Chain A
Amino acid sequence: MALKFTFPGRFVSPLGFLGMLTFVIFIILGITGALLMLYYEPILDRAWDSVKNINDVIPYGFHLRNIHYHASNAMVMVALLHMYYQYFSGRYKIRNEILWVTGIILGVLTILEAFTGYDIIFSERAELAISIAASLTNSIPILGPQMTEAFFGGGFHDFVLRFYAFHVFLLPIAMLGLMVVHFPRFLVFDIPMVMAITGAIMLTGGVFPVDMGLKFDPNVPPGITVPEWYLTGLYAFLRSAYDKFTTGVAWPGLFIFALLIIPFIDRYKKFSWKDRPIITAIGITSLAQIIVTTYWGFYIDPDRTKSLLERLVIDPVFLYLVMILLVPLSFGFTYMMIKLARNAEANAKIQPKKPTTKSSINLSEKWIYAIFVALLAFQVYLNIAAYYAVLNGMQNYSLFIIGIMMLVFAGMFHIFRHGKSMQKAPPPRPTIPPMPAKAKPPSLTQPGGPEAPQIAANTKVLGDLAAAEKTLAPSAKGSTPSSQSVQSVNKTESPSAHSEQKLVTDEKK
């Protein structure tokens, strides 16, 4: 297989390589998971205690467990973002549909992988999750009970052992196999972004260290628990009615099936979300329903005077009514956004083209060295701080510091790249912007996110007198918010740019 890794020489939007980031997180999970395997014991009465041992006793076990846990959440999240980005940008049309289909299957396996992962801790919540999964499998007509026996085994001892086997071997192997098919041939491996993701996972672990939960004891009634966030949407449906097959198997099955056949339904000739109104509206509807049910699944009536069942059960009529109501709302929202975007495009054409001036703060070589040395010193300080935090038992603080170190490394690498491209670049001419926008080295302000180019463009425009005059004129003419948005779209859009950036700025509005 001819894989080609691209190490970008400048900042590129991570939206385009979210899939690669998912894979990077998968690798992080593989490494931390393999290390956790050294101490974890998939045995009925020892599973929870072994995790507690990892968490409390084994040096850096706390760190590895937290990274493993938060990386699993990050992987589900990044995979979801990746899917929706591909969906709205119509990228699945570029290559054949197999990429999309394998991607959906990979997404389902990712959630199963995360699900089996938090079950083998065998806390109270894990037991509830296993029993719900088993009862859902049981509810499948005809083959259900046999499938439950075949996959789950018969009893808690089997469940822990089997979920462990699924989690550490069967599911990852299946995912790796699918990845071979799923990968496009060109991969962007952006080291600063990879380090930033790693750092973000560690920071999250430091700020929100994952708890142990209570050890499962069948004689003790469990407290109210909800599943992980990627399953609360399903949980909201489970809480609504008692027919488990419809709510727990048929609905999610239908959802996955709908996702699978999307590229075969989408017969629009164009890629952009604006040119595929119905597909975009369906996507927005699904997004709205996922967000609402995800929150709803978490929400439990805080009134403690009511019975547990009363607090848990969601009125099915209410739930389904809201789900149906979200459809016209989402469609209306989508068509409104498309209309706004079209107006903006039309207005942008009327206005005179500004010279495409992008970025930036141009650091001289001297300053680059100075910043590099400062960051190096900062890393030394953070190293010491992280070490002493562990010595003093402040585990999550040290994880937090290590997360910062990863982020600082991302910055260092970025400056290094910037400096290297500066050395290659010809000396800047004084008056005109030195290079065409594309080949220009990135600025420090850019990696901030989608709005960063806009800010950069603004600062540059302020600096450039001629450009400033041009921008002042239209903004003085119309001070309505819509013309303001027109301007920003115009600014971010360079002639050669993809519609990606526009999409982001429009969605933010």
Chain B
Amino acid sequence: MAQRPSPKSGGKVSRRDFIKLMAAAGTVMTFAVFADWGKFLPPPKQQSTERQMVELPDGSQANVNSFPVNHAEAVIFPKTDDPVLNKEAFRTWQFIRLPEELGGKTNDVSAFRMYSMVCLHLWCLWKYWPQDGRKRGECPCHGSMYDPLTGKAFAGPAALQAPPSNVLPMLDLEITSDGNVWIKPPNWSPNGNGVVGYGRFLT
């Protein structure tokens, strides 16, 4: 409208067009504030800045001196006071101490891995099998298999998915001087620790 000059205005924006433009701009400016309200939809991520302990199913904290080599436990993270939420599959993680040949003997963080148990294919819960010849994560549903060293799927349907959906989300760990294992505050993004049920970019 504004491009087509009316004969009177001689190429300039007419008064009527100008007022229309102002009205449109006013409308946009009035409702622009609600664009940010889209943040209501995704649930807030627990961005705690404090480390949390690796609490084993028996209630004790995982310790580098007592946790056996080539062994895994299911750990709830982030843990809440709500027993229903603690049952949530998206909060279950596999805490693995690697087998000897992959460096599980060393007494530092490199011996441990913590991956989301939610299979990247169709969200069943996979788990680590320590038996000789297996020593890998296996999903009971469609047979996806995960490398315990990196969390990358190497067989089954999950392995065929495009990145980031072929690598399990992984939590960063740290070990204090008393040998206790802690979970560092996670960065829930595909480029960080990954998104549960979606995956992580392997860097």
Contact yes or no, B84 A157, CB < 8 A: yes
Counting CB contacts under 8 A, is A45 at the interface? Answer: yes
Contact yes or no, A145 B195, CB < 8 A: yes
Contacts A156-B88, A218-B89; A149 near B156 (Cβ below 8 A): no
Considering only CB atoms, which chain B residue lies closest to A155 in the complex? B90
Binds B, one of A132-140, A260-268, A320-328, A395-403: A132-140
Query: Could you say which residues of chain A place their CB within 8 Å of the CB of B91?
Result: 155
Residue of B156, B157, B197 with most chain A CB atoms under a 10 A cut-off: B197
Interface size class of B (residues with CB under 8 A): 20 to 34
Counting CB contacts under 8 A, is B196 at the interface? Answer: yes
Counting CB contacts under 8 A, is A226 at the interface? Answer: no
How many Å lie between the Cα of A461 and that of B3 in the bound state? 73
The residue from B41, B90, B165 contacting A138, defined by CB atoms under 8 A apart: B165
Residues 81-101 of B, flagged 1 when their CB comes within 8 A of A and 0 if not, give 000110111111000000000
Counting CB contacts under 8 A, is B125 at the interface? Answer: yes
Q: How many interface residues does A have (CB within 8 Å)?
A: 33
Contact yes or no, B89 A242, CB < 8 A: no
Query: Could you say which residues of chain A place their CB within 8 Å of the CB of B140?
Result: 219-221
* CB of B37 to closest CB in A, whole Å: 12
Tell me whether chain B's interface is mostly helix, strand or loop, or mixed.
Answer: loop
Contacts A131-B197, A145-B190, A309-B142; A150 near B42 (Cβ below 8 A): yes
Considering only CB atoms, which chain A residue lies closest to B120 in the complex? A135
Considering only CB atoms, which chain B residue lies closest to A244 in the complex? B161
* CB of B187 to closest CB in A, whole Å: 14
Counting CB contacts under 8 A, is B198 at the interface? Answer: yes
Counting CB contacts under 8 A, is B77 at the interface? Answer: no
Contact yes or no, B42 A218, CB < 8 A: no
Contact yes or no, A157 B124, CB < 8 A: no
Contact yes or no, A222 B141, CB < 8 A: yes
Query: Could you say which residues of chain B place their CB within 8 Å of the CB of A153?
Result: 42-43
* CB of B160 to closest CB in A, whole Å: 5
Contacts A218-B125, A221-B124, A309-B143; A45 near B45 (Cβ below 8 A): no
Contact yes or no, A151 B41, CB < 8 A: yes
How many Å lie between the Cα of A16 and that of B165 in the bound state? 48
Residues 107-126 of B, flagged 1 when their CB comes within 8 A of A and 0 if not, give 00000000001100011110
* CB of B154 to closest CB in A, whole Å: 15
How many Å lie between the Cα of A149 and that of B44 in the bound state? 10
Residues 53-90 of B, flagged 1 when their CB comes within 8 A of A and 0 if not, give 00000000000000000000000000000001101111
Contacts A145-B190, A309-B157; A150 near B88 (Cβ below 8 A): no
* CB of B22 to closest CB in A, whole Å: 31
Counting CB contacts under 8 A, is B7 at the interface? Answer: no
Query: Could you say which residues of chain B place their CB within 8 Å of the CB of A154?
Result: 42-43, 45, 90, 196
How many Å lie between the Cα of A67 and that of B6 in the bound state? 64
Query: Could you say which residues of chain A place their CB within 8 Å of the CB of B43?
Result: 149, 153-155, 158
Contacts A44-B87, A155-B90; A146 near B42 (Cβ below 8 A): yes
Contacts A44-B84, A151-B41, A155-B90; A145 near B198 (Cβ below 8 A): yes
Counting CB contacts under 8 A, is B10 at the interface? Answer: no
Residues 208-233 of A, flagged 1 when their CB comes within 8 A of B and 0 if not, give 00000000001111100000000000
Query: Could you say which residues of chain B place their CB within 8 Å of the CB of A127?
Result: 123
Contact yes or no, B88 A44, CB < 8 A: yes
Query: Could you say which residues of chain A place their CB within 8 Å of the CB of B165?
Result: 135, 138
Considering only CB atoms, which chain B residue lies closest to A242 in the complex? B160
Counting CB contacts under 8 A, is A385 at the interface? Answer: no
Counting CB contacts under 8 A, is B38 at the interface? Answer: yes
Q: Could you list 25 A-B pairs, sorted by A, with CB under 8 Å?
A: A44-B84, A44-B88, A45-B87, A135-B122, A138-B198, A145-B195, A146-B42, A149-B43, A150-B38, A151-B41, A153-B42, A154-B196, A155-B88, A155-B90, A156-B89, A156-B90, A218-B92, A218-B117, A218-B125, A219-B140, A220-B140, A221-B140, A242-B161, A308-B143, A309-B156
Given contacts A153-B42, A156-B89, A157-B84, 16 further A-B contacts (CB under 8 A): A44-B87, A132-B122, A138-B165, A145-B190, A149-B41, A150-B41, A150-B42, A155-B89, A155-B196, A156-B90, A157-B85, A218-B117, A218-B123, A242-B157, A244-B161, A308-B142
